Amino acid sequence: MSFRIARTIRGAEVKLYSDVLERIVRKHGELGGCEHMILETVERPDYIIKGHKRELLAMKHYAATSIGPKEMIVVYREDKELIITAFLTSKIHKLLRRRLIIWQKAR
State pLDDT tens for residues 26-84: 999 999 999 999 999 999 999 999 999 999 999 999 999 889 999 999 999 999 999 99
Which residues form the domain of 78?
A: 3-104
Residue 29 to residues 22, 36, 52, 102, Cα–Cα distance (Å): 10, 15, 25, 29
The structure's pTM equals 0.95
Domains in the chain, number: 1
Indicate the helix (H) or strand (E) that contains 91.
Answer: none
In angstroms, the CA 66 to CA 34 distance is 10
